[in-house]
Amino acid sequence: EPEVTQTPSHQVTQMGQEVILRCVPISNHLYFYWYRQILGQKVEFLVSFYNNEISEKSEIFDDQFSVERPDGSNFTLKIRSTKLEDSAMYFCASSVRAIGVTQYFGPGTRLTVL
Amino acid sequence: AQSVTQLGSHVSVSEGALVLLRCNYSSSVPPYLFWYVQYPNQGLQLLLKYTTGATLVKGINGFEAEFKKSETSFHLTKPSAHMSDAAEYFCAVSDRANAGGTSYGKLTFGQGTILTVHP
């Protein structure tokens, strides 16, 4: 069964460093998402991406964050200058369309900012 | 803005007992409703969803949920718990469409409920 994959599974970085989290969505999916879950808190929406542009973003997704789909298969989340409060589990998800369908989630990348 | 409330951050049941995980939502228009499960060190997996039609929906692993518009609820049940059901369960909602007639599928999640099953 097709699945969403994410790399790395765990990333440790120093505050102020740039990190890139990578995702490979399911191949025929058109809508892509990033969510995060700070330890002990809710899963929170960050951004949705369709047709090579951001379709919606949350207030969390500020100028320090960016997403791109560089080669038609990978979907990346970049954090330019990490902060301690960026430590969280980051989930990528994809779906065939936006409305009322299953979003398939990857296993997540645990980001630890020291 | 939508919100989701899951009553009880931890629920503990005995093997074979009824599982009931509660979810209430707040939305001006009834949204699409989802239950996801997360096993340790794994991603979120869809258990079931309600989009339209029959309000009682059946999902994987013997779970089901009933959409009750009057109560703005979507509680998850399973008649008989199994040890393998131990996991964290998330209720989520998404818009049917925004004012512009498009919706991009953003999921809004509840806090999650950790289910423990005792032998």
Question: Is A48 near chain B, with CB under 8 Å?
Answer: yes
Residue A99 neighbours by CB under 8 Å, 6+ apart: B32, B94, B96, B97, B103, B105
- When the pLDDT of each residue in chain B is averaged and rounded to a whole number, the result is 91
Rg, Å, chain A Cα set:
13
d(CA B81, nearest CA chain A) in Å: 25
Which H or E run includes A24? strand A19-24
- Decide which of B52 and B118 is more confident: B118
pLDDT recorded at residue B102? 62
pLDDT, residue B1, reads 72
Chain B residues touching A4 at Cβ < 8 A:
43
- Between A33, A42, A55, which is nearest B109 by CB? A42
CA distance A5 to A15: 26
In the predicted structure, residue B98 carries a pLDDT above the cut 60? no
Q: What is the pLDDT of residue A71?
A: 86
- Tell me what pLDDT residue B93 has: 93
Name the residue in chain B with its Cα closest to that of A5. B43
Cα–Cα nearest to B94, from B33, B46, B22, B23: B33
Tell me: pLDDT of B9 over 90: yes
* CB contact B55 to A (< 8 Å): no
Q: What is the pLDDT of residue A2?
A: 82
Region B106-117: mean pLDDT is 95
Element (H, E) at B38: strand B32-38
User: Would you say residue B53 has pLDDT above 60?
Assistant: yes
Question: Does residue B103 register a pLDDT over 80?
Answer: no
Any chain A CB within 8 A of the CB of B103?
yes
Q: What is the pLDDT of residue B43?
A: 85
The nearest alpha carbon in chain B to A46 belongs to: B106
- The yes-or-no verdict on residue B101 having pLDDT over 60 is no
Please tell me if residue A56 touches chain B, with a CB cutoff of 8 Å. yes
Contact with chain A for residue B89, Cβ under 8 A:
no
Lowest-confidence region among B9-18, B46-55, B77-86? B46-55
List the one residue out of B32, B98, B36 whose CA is nearest residue B63. Answer: B36
Contact B103 A91 (CB under 8 A): no
Per-residue model confidence as pLDDT tens for chain A (114 residues): 789 999 999 999 999 999 999 999 999 999 999 999 999 889 999 999 998 999 999 999 999 999 999 888 899 999 999 999 999 999 999 999 888 788 999 999 999 999
What is the reported pLDDT for B30?
A: 80
Which has more confidence, A72 or B74? Answer: B74
pLDDT of residue A72: 80
**What local confidence, expressed as pLDDT, does residue A70 receive?**
86
A91 touches chain B (CB under 8 A): yes
